[in-house]
Amino acid sequence: KQEVTQIPAALSVPEGENLVLNCSFTDSAIYNLQWFRQDPGKGLTSLLLIQSSQREQTSGRLNASLDKSSGRSTLYIAASQPGDSATYLCAGPRGGNQFYFGTGTSLTVIP
Amino acid sequence: DTEVTQTPKHLVMGMTNKKSLKCEQHMGHRAMYWYKQKAKKPPELMFVYSYEKLSINESVPSRFSPECPNSSLLNLHLHALQPEDSALYLCASSHRQGYGYGYTFGSGTRLTVV
C-alpha cells in the first residue's frame, strides 16, 4: 500500500523567499509523481508531473525532483509571491493504477 | 481543449432528493475518476472508469451511483445522501488508466446535504 506524507503541514514565509516542500512515499516502485496546487474551495491545478525515468522537472519558478531510492520528492519554489499562497499536494500511484494523495502543505506567503 | 468541466459548481440537496453531478472532457482521455474531498483533507478516490467501464469502486456506498455514458462524459448520481456526504466532489481524467499518465482535474462541485 502506498503511503504519501508531506512535510511541513503548514508553512508561512515572507515574500521573496525560496522554499522547499517535501513529499515522502513508501513504495519505491513508483512510476511517476505529480504536484498539484489547490486554492481554497477550488479544484486542483497540475503543476508538474515527474516520470520515474526523470530526476526533475521545471516550470517557471517551480522545480520538482524525484528520488525513488529514498522515496522522496521535493517542490522548490523560487522567489515566492503572495499569489503562491495555496495548498500544495503531491500524488503518487498506488498499484500503478491511480494516484493517491499526500496530506498537503498549506503555504502562506506574506507580502 | 485541455479542461475538465464540472457542473454544477454548487449544489444543495435534501436527504430525500435525487441529483446528478456531471463531468466532461474533450481531451481524448479514456480514464476518468471521481474523488471526494472533505475540508482540510486530501482528495479520496471513489471510482475509476477506464474505456467507459467501471474499473475501481473504492467501497463507496450505493447512494452514490456513477455512470459513464460515453468517452467524454462522467456522471455521479446521488440519492438519499446524508449530511456527512457534504464535500467537494472532484472529477479527473488521464490519457489512460495506468502508469505514467498525469491527471487533469476539474474545478469541483461543492455539495451540501441538508
pLDDT in tens, B91-109: 999 998 876 788 999 999 9
Burial class, B59, CB count within 10 angstroms (exposed 0-12 / middle 13-18 / buried 19+): exposed
Q: Is the pLDDT of residue B15 over 90?
A: yes
Structure confidence at residue A2 (pLDDT): 66
Task: Verify whether the Cβ–Cβ distance B99 to A31 is below 8 Å.
Answer: yes
**Calpha distance B60→B47 (Å, rounded):** 8
Distance from CA of A81 to the nearest CA of B (A): 22
d(CA A86, CA A106): 6
Averaged over A25-34, what is the pLDDT?
Answer: 79
Q: Residue A49 and residue B105: Cβ atoms within 8 Å?
A: no
Work out the mean pLDDT of chain A and round it to a whole number. Answer: 90
Q: Report the residue of chain B nearest A34, measured CA to CA.
A: B102
Q: Does A55 touch chain B if contact means CB atoms closer than 8 Å?
A: no
Confidence of residue B75 (pLDDT cuts 50, 70, 90): very high
The torsion angles phi and psi of B12, rounded to 5 degrees, stand at -115, 125
CA distance B53 to chain A (A): 15
Place of cell 455539495: B111
Average pLDDT, chain B: 94
Q: Which of A44, A93, A102 sits opposite B105 (nearest CB)?
A: A44
Which residues neighbour A43 within 8 Å (Cβ) at sequence distance 6 or greater?
B6, B90, B105, B106, B107, B108
